[in-house]
Structure 1
Amino acid sequence: MTRAERLESAAAEGFWTELRRTTQARIGLGRAGDALPTGRVLEFRAAHAAARDAVHTPLDADGFATRVAALGLGEPVHVRSRASDRSEYLRRPDLGRLPDESSAGQGLSAVAGTGADIGFVLADGLSPLALVEHGIPMLCALTEKLGERYTFAPPVIATQARVALGDHIGAALGVTTVLVLIGERPGLSVADSLGIYLTHRPRPGRADAERNCVSNIHPPEGLTYARAAQVVEGLVDGARRLGRSGVDLKDTSACTSLAASTAVVLETGSAPG
């Protein structure tokens, strides 16, 4: 390689290094002959293994329940879906949406009606790892944000769960709004991303278009707990005013924050630091 070629290669690598800092996508990986460099191949395989582990590693429901109980929101209940194991859960999404009434103590019969404003369902979903890593701090942020104005039902832990299982649980709890905190499908960039699905007046048969989603929660790279809680607060308030959730309900939290900042500028002559 000539000196000019080395300089050109170094400049290109510098360009891609700076650009990679702005995204988790695999870009500018370089090449070694007709293939990727060995290091990049190994990085890809490690990410793929992490994603597979995130999907297949089961949630320690008892251990997680102990952590949830320590928050003081009430004794958590464990509800299973009709998917008997992880293999069936992955092959039969429909079973993950229905509660299993054959498991003693882990069906809807264990869920007591409360009539509370908000119910929390902590679901393993496609990444139990995400629930373990982010479920507790996210729940803390939500209760801190919503606790002054709304009442909460005791949390429910759901395993082998799809989002729609929350409709059955929310209806059994008798809550006005159910928030399903669930592990999202792992990717090759993020294996522990958490999502929150909001459904107003939950009941079996609700369509996906009747709920709202706040996704990509995995600080520090993804959405922070505080920001996610702020968005959820706006959606909960909006759903109660509108009388429904879903496609007609929009996140206005960013607009509210901008309006507040503008008001400070107009009043004091400077933006908050």
Structure 2
Amino acid sequence: MTSEPSIGSDHAAEQRFWQELRHTTQARIGLGRTGDALPTQRVLEFRAAHAAARDAVHTPLRVDELIEQVTGLGLGAAAQVSSRARDRAEYLRRPDLGRLPAESPVGEHALSHVPHSGAEIGIVLADGLSPRALTEHGPAMVAALIEELAPRYSIAAPVIATQARVALGDHIAEAMGVATVVVLIGERPGLSVADSLGIYLTHLPRPGRTDADRNCLSNIHPPEGLGYAQAAKVLAGLVSGARVLGRSGVDLKDTSRTDAVGEGEIISIGPGPR
């Protein structure tokens, strides 16, 4: 005669099942319940994550500190630009203003203070929807890009952009005179990750380029997300492929793990403050 499993043993088995799955994802799964509601601990965790995401969006970028860190990487003194959005509230309400450089006095070019280097690669660090992500990962990510790209390409002095969307990088790149622009930008915070950094690559950038003309690496936030060295390697492969194809975007593949352009994994447009 066999005995039926007890309720307690079923519960323990269920908890083990969910615990093993939680090791593979940051998503909220198997939260359990107390009556018809979530357990108090899970509710508190959700509220804390929501508060962290809001803080990531609204906390201002520490520009002076970031300029000092990035300038210390040896590419030259970092310039600073702002978008046409006058403050954070307008930036969130008007994405279109975040794609345009701030207006300058009459007769002066909006980006006249950005040095025209004519380098092959330009790097723009944009606060995006998570200045926290740029603060925590921007300098280390630029250092990894320098290590990967500098032996092969000339790199212009970086530019820091505030209240910025991805397309602002096209205007900055035109002023820099670079062949390829790499925009590091804080991605839209979620309830699992509030400090995720994205990289958008545009070859032959100019105002009017669309998302179809770009390639994106997202979810950069080691140790849980993509690491700096790995992201830099993939980006270097994309730069090489773009120079061969003469364009970036939907036709460009990730060639960091292949020998031929046009094979491999597509790096698609991911989540971000476009």
TM over 0.5: yes
| Pick aligned residue for 1:74 from 76, 93, 100 | 76
Q: Which moved more, 1:91-100 or 1:60-69?
A: 60-69
What whole-Å deviation, never above 9, does each CA across 1:235-260 have from its counterpart, x for those lacking one? 0000000000000101122335xxxx
Does structure 1 residue 194 correspond to structure 2 residue 232?
Answer: no
Partner residue in 2 for 1:57: 59
| Pick aligned residue for 1:92 from 88, 91, 94 | 94
Partner residue in 2 for 1:9: 11
Higher relative helix content: 1
- Measured at CA, do residues 132 and 181 of structure 1 come closer, stay the same or move farther in structure 2, by a change above 3 Å? same
Q: Any conservation in 2 of the 1:80–1:107 contact (CA below 8 Å)?
A: no
User: Which residues of 2 match residues 107-146 of structure 1 at below 5 A?
Assistant: 107-146=110-149
| Pick aligned residue for 1:219 from 218, 222, 245 | 222
SS in structure 1 of the partner of residue 12 of structure 2: helix
What one-letter code is carried by the residue in structure 2 that aligns with 1:40? R
User: How far apart are 1:103 and its partner, in Å?
Assistant: 7.7
Partner residue in 1 for 2:266: none
Q: Any conservation in 2 of the 1:117–1:175 contact (CA below 8 Å)?
A: yes
- The CA distance in 2 between the partners of 1:11 and 1:36, in whole Å, is 19
What one-letter code is carried by the residue in structure 2 that aligns with 1:79? V
- The CA distance in 2 between the partners of 1:57 and 1:103, in whole Å, is 29
- The CA distance in 1 between the partners of 2:105 and 2:122, in whole Å, is 22
Q: Any conservation in 2 of the 1:73–1:152 contact (CA below 8 Å)?
A: yes
Partner residue in 2 for 1:264: none
Partner residue in 2 for 1:18: 20
- Measured at CA, do residues 62 and 103 of structure 1 come closer, stay the same or move farther in structure 2, by a change above 3 Å? farther
**Normalised TM-score (structure 2):** 0.90
- The CA distance in 2 between the partners of 1:200 and 1:161, in whole Å, is 19
User: How far apart are 1:64 and its partner, in Å?
Assistant: 1.0
User: How far apart are 1:215 and its partner, in Å?
Assistant: 0.6
Aligned length: 255
Q: Any conservation in 2 of the 1:78–1:106 contact (CA below 8 Å)?
A: no
Q: What is the RMSD computed on CA atoms of the aligned residues?
A: 1.7
- The CA distance in 2 between the partners of 1:214 and 1:74, in whole Å, is 25
What one-letter code is carried by the residue in structure 2 that aligns with 1:101? E
- Measured at CA, do residues 106 and 27 of structure 1 come closer, stay the same or move farther in structure 2, by a change above 3 Å? farther
